[in-house]
Each structure stands twice: as structure tokens, then as C-alpha cells.
């Protein structure tokens, strides 16, 4: 089964705040878009891939990004959990560098 990808460009259905995904996850698209904007302020870009009941949050760094601006991965999972509608233990976080990697 091909994972579902949510691009970092923030495209969404304008009439819906939450979208239901066949995996059973309820994604808060508005809050996810706001979270992306917060990361983009520090030149980071978030993409989400869903596969079954698992999520992969991939964060890529632009040329102006600073590694110290990223929170530990455990904390990132906790922040993403309510936005993706899945428990933090089902979210894998990939950072551009291995900084603040407690809780891999």
C-alpha cells in the first residue's frame, strides 16, 4: 500500500478543518498548516507521510535554518500527535541533522 503524502505546500480542502483519512487518523489540517508556518519561519519544511496507523514527519532544512531551533524528537512527536490524530508512539520524526535527538 502506497503511503499517503501531505505536501509541505499546505494544500487542503478549504471547507474542512479536519480531514478523515482511511487509516482512521483525523488530521487537523488548519492546525497542521499553522504548525508548518511556524517551522517555515526558521526555514524548516515539514512533510507528513501516513502508512497504516503510522506517520512519518520529515523535516527538511533550508539554507537559513539553525539546528538549535528544533525541539527534541519526543517533544516534536507530542506536538504533532493531536494534529495528526494518532498517538505519539506511532509518529517517526526525521530531522535533517542529529541534533536534539533524545527520544529517537
Q: Could you give the C-alpha distances from 45 to 32, 58, 61, 92, in angstroms and in order? A: 12, 8, 6, 16
With 0.75 as the threshold, say if the pTM is over it. Answer: no
Residues of the chain above pLDDT 90, percent: 56
Model pLDDT for residues 2-45, shown as the tens digit of each residue: 444 444 444 444 444 444 444 556 889 999 999 999 999 999 99
Amino acid at each position: 500500500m502506497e503511503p499517503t503524502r501531505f505536501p509541505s505546500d499546505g494544500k487542503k480542502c478549504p471547507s474542512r478543518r479536519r480531514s478523515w483519512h482511511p487509516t482512521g487518523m483525523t488530521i487537523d489540517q488548519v492546525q497542521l498548516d499553522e504548525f508548518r508556518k511556524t517551522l517555515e519561519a526558521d526555514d524548516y519544511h515539514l512533510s507528513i507521510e501516513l502508512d497504516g496507523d503510522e506517520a512519518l514527519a520529515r523535516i527538511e532544512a533550508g539554507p537559513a535554518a539553525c539546528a538549535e531551533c528544533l525541539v527534541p524528537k519526543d517533544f516534536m512527536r507530542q506536538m504533532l500527535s493531536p494534529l495528526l490524530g494518532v498517538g505519539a508512539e506511532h509518529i517517526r520524526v526525521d530531522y535533517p541533522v542529529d541534533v536534539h535527538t533524545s527520544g529517537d
